[in-house]
Chain A
Amino acid sequence: MVTAAMKQVKMKTASPASSLDPYRIKQDFPVLQQQSNGRPLVYLDSANTSQKPQCVIDAINKFYAHDNANIHRGVYDLSIRATKAYENARGTIAKFVGASRPEEIIFVRGTTEAINLVAQTFVRNRVGQGDEILVTAMEHHSNIVPWQIVCQQTGAVLKVAPINDAGEIILDAYREKLTAKTKFVAMTHVSNALGTVNPIAKMIELAHEKDIPVLVDGAQAAPHIPINVSELGCDFYTVSSHKMFGPTGVGALYGRLDLLNAMPPYQGGGDMILSVTFEHTTYNEVPYKFEAGTPHIAGAIGFAAAAQYILDIGFDKLIAYEHELLDYATKSLATIPEVRMIGTAAEKVSVLSFVLDGVHPHDVGTILDQQGIAIRTGHHCAQPIMDRFDVPATIRASLAIYNTKEDIDALAASLKNVMEVFR
């Protein structure tokens, strides 16, 4: 059935207006050059984790093959080289997020750890009984649960700024939630389940008018839109390497230097100290104060290679292409009457969340998998969003620069196939 449908699919190429060549980009990603269940792999789950280009794999290999040593310790050449590579990586990530100083970048395991770090070392000490922490209704569990833990520890209360039916923040309601009791705001830049891009510049400004510090979860924004923490003026910003073509197990927390300096350490151990006696320990300076133990050195280097890969492509080209792809995919799915989109914000990245009338997302996922299409079905670690839209789960196609219009055509053809099975 698919073969017949596929035959009708005309080969399409990127329009001349777009100068990003996705077919060339796709060649950079070895994992995409394979078959899945007898068909070319169509990877549509980049919001879950992105694939890695050869240059990232090479950077990690090169480190282990040539430069591996522990950092900040040895006086020998190898250790000095490793330290330099690690600190250069910090510099690249600082540039990527628009931080003015590399010390404002703390390497962590990922966005989840970054948020927990801020929750425990910054927010926990600043809230008490009845104080409020504000999040939005479109947060990932990782930007909900750390705050619930702080609330349990302190007696503070978690408040939620609502979203409309399109999946956009309701700014007036958000403004009203910023009260004298609000001590901290944590919000996502881009929703993983809906694709919505939040107007964070405005939201930060509104919070700052009331002297409320703000953390922005940038895990989903990083591979799609340029980040400039200096222009945004946010207090904390978090990114995960693996969402932006880098390795898993590493990410970055940006924090304003004055805030980081005033914060206590998150974990104790080696590398985060200046001197230790059994009576007293003097902590190292920022950022090392927050990087206890040997960090994921190769990971940080691969992470920086991924950031550089994006910067080399250029956000102008990337955005233009992804918009074109999103537009094509939106129109393509609209031709299937049973498709209902969840998340139709005016400002979106290339994430399409939807349900198929009469078919459970889990069944769709299995049938698509049989046709070589890797797609996420479920609640996307954002159960409150599923409740908001009254669906148990959605099907989510999340696109990246290596996806092509043929990938979308394969998705649409397979969805039509699903409807045939369930007719």
Chain B
Amino acid sequence: MDDLQDLYQQLILDHNKSPRNLGKLEDYNRQAQGYNPLCGDKLQVFLHVEDGIVKDISFEGSGCAISTASASLMTQSVKGKTVEQARATFESFHQMLTEDSDNESDESALGKLVVFSGVCKYPARVKCATLAWHTVNAALSDSVKPVSTE
């Protein structure tokens, strides 16, 4: 169970149960859809970007605890950041889950998002944690094409 508690930490369980920034923004000007065909997770993110800053962000969709909590924490992390900062966070987050590095400086920049560091031990679940980030990355590029984790 120790390993499992690494994965299902209280913060993840909490954001799964009560996702923040859930729903559709009324005045969004960028959006993107994400899909994970392996587990059927579907996600849509809505952004209001003004002067290069993410003024507001929300998401809708259904998925597993890891993907829901990741989407919720992603919105908290990205809100208020510049587009460049948001992209940099995406890169660091992606790196934390997919590379065997102990890059402390990267992780310290991630703040609460380090709660997902345990996911890299579960290769089948990495896509669950990164779906929201791939999706927001696409929205920041104002991509119209739905993104897939495949």
Where the two chains meet, the residues of A that have a C-beta atom closer than 8 Å to any C-beta of B are 1-2, 359-363, 366-367, 370, 377-379, 386, 392-393, 421-422
Which listed residue, A377, A379, A392, touches B62 by the CB 8 Å rule? A392
With an 8 Å Cβ cutoff, the count of chain B residues facing the other chain is 20
Which listed residue, B7, B38, B62, B125, touches A378 by the CB 8 Å rule? B38
Nearest opposing residue in chain A for B128, CB measure: A362
Contact of B65 with A359 in the complex, beta carbons under 8 Å: yes
CB-CB nearest 5 A-B residue pairs: A360-B64, A362-B64, A392-B40, A362-B39, A363-B65
17 A–B contacts from the bound complex (CB under 8 Å): A360-B39, A362-B39, A362-B41, A362-B66, A362-B125, A362-B128, A363-B66, A366-B4, A366-B125, A370-B1, A378-B38, A379-B40, A386-B40, A392-B41, A392-B63, A421-B13, A422-B13
Where the two chains meet, the residues of B that have a C-beta atom closer than 8 Å to any C-beta of A are 1, 3-4, 7-8, 13, 38-41, 62-66, 68, 122, 124-125, 128
Other than the known A363-B66, A366-B124, what 8 A-B pairs have Cβ atoms closer than 8 Å?
A360-B64, A360-B68, A362-B41, A363-B8, A366-B4, A366-B122, A379-B40, A422-B65
Say whether, besides A378-B40, A379-B40, A386-B40, A421 and B66 are in contact (CB < 8 Å). no
Contact of A378 with B13 in the complex, beta carbons under 8 Å: no
CA distance A379 to B39 in the complex (A): 7
Which chain B positions have C-beta within 8 A of A363?
8, 64-66
Kindly provide the distance from the CB of A419 to the nearest chain B CB, expressed in whole angstroms.
12
Which listed residue, B1, B8, B66, B124, touches A2 by the CB 8 Å rule? B1
Which chain B positions have C-beta within 8 A of A359?
65
Which chain A positions have C-beta within 8 A of B41?
362, 392
Which listed residue, A1, A378, A421, touches B39 by the CB 8 Å rule? A378
Kindly provide the distance from the CB of A338 to the nearest chain B CB, expressed in whole angstroms.
15
Nearest opposing residue in chain B for A364, CB measure: B64
Which chain A positions have C-beta within 8 A of B68?
360
CA distance A421 to B64 in the complex (A): 14
Which chain A positions have C-beta within 8 A of B3?
370
Which chain A positions have C-beta within 8 A of B1?
1-2, 370
Which chain A positions have C-beta within 8 A of B64?
360-363
A2, A377, A386 pick with most chain B CB within 10 angstroms: A377
Contact of A377 with B39 in the complex, beta carbons under 8 Å: yes
CA distance A360 to B128 in the complex (A): 12
Kindly provide the distance from the CB of B57 to the nearest chain A CB, expressed in whole angstroms.
23
CA distance A370 to B122 in the complex (A): 10
Say whether, besides A2-B1, A363-B65, A393 and B40 are in contact (CB < 8 Å). yes
CA distance A392 to B43 in the complex (A): 13
Which chain B positions have C-beta within 8 A of A386?
40
Nearest opposing residue in chain B for A367, CB measure: B4
Contact of A370 with B63 in the complex, beta carbons under 8 Å: no
Kindly provide the distance from the CB of A369 to the nearest chain B CB, expressed in whole angstroms.
8
Which chain A positions have C-beta within 8 A of B4?
366-367, 370, 421
Which chain B positions have C-beta within 8 A of A379?
40
CA distance A346 to B97 in the complex (A): 46
B4, B7, B63, B128 pick with most chain A CB within 10 angstroms: B4
Which chain A positions have C-beta within 8 A of B39?
360-362, 377-378, 392-393
Kindly provide the distance from the CB of B7 to the nearest chain A CB, expressed in whole angstroms.
7
Which chain A positions have C-beta within 8 A of B124?
366
CA distance A57 to B68 in the complex (A): 44
Kindly provide the distance from the CB of B52 to the nearest chain A CB, expressed in whole angstroms.
36
Say whether, besides A366-B125, A370-B3, A360 and B63 are in contact (CB < 8 Å). yes
Which chain A positions have C-beta within 8 A of B38?
378
A361, A366, A393 pick with most chain B CB within 10 angstroms: A366
Kindly provide the distance from the CB of A362 to the nearest chain B CB, expressed in whole angstroms.
4
